[in-house]
Amino acid sequence: MKLQKIVENLELKPLTKTEDKEIEGVFISDMLSDVMSSAKAGDLWVTVQTHKNIVSASNLVDIGAIIIVHGKSVPDETIEIANRFHVSIYSTSLSTFQLAGKLVALGLNP
């Protein structure tokens, strides 16, 4: 499914420059080690983490995009690094649980 379709359906707020990638699945975790060891290329990564290391983990796995839940504020440094490395970051006020339900309803599986 195209990222833009997900963004529009869930009214996600873009925090970085974005690219309309093909999304293959969903990975939900707040631990970088989980992402690096178990996420797959093309996954959406759902997390509450906002520090700059999320960009490195995302690049390592080739994550399709990161969605920050609970409306958490993302530091400018993280956004700048994400833009430099072409990592799309979005924000939502939804909880992880609420977002997971909506992603499943769209046909994506965590």
Kind and range of the H or E run holding 89 = strand 89-91
pLDDT tens, per residue, the chain with 110 residues: 999 999 999 999 999 999 899 999 999 999 999 999 999 999 999 999 999 999 999 999 999 999 999 999 999 999 999 999 999 999 999 999 999 999 999 999 76
Can you list the domains of the chain with their CATH numbers? 3-105 (3.40.1390.20)
| pLDDT (0 to 100) of residue 103 | 96
Paired tokens of 93: 């006020």
Model confidence, pTM: 0.95
Paired tokens of 77: 């440094």
Contact 46, 26 (CB under 8 A): yes
Q: N- to C-terminal Cα distance for the chain?
A: 14
| pLDDT (0 to 100) of residue 109 | 78
> Residue 43: which of 52, 51, 34 has the closest Cα?
34
In this structure, the number of other CB atoms found within 10 A of the CB of residue 10 comes to 18
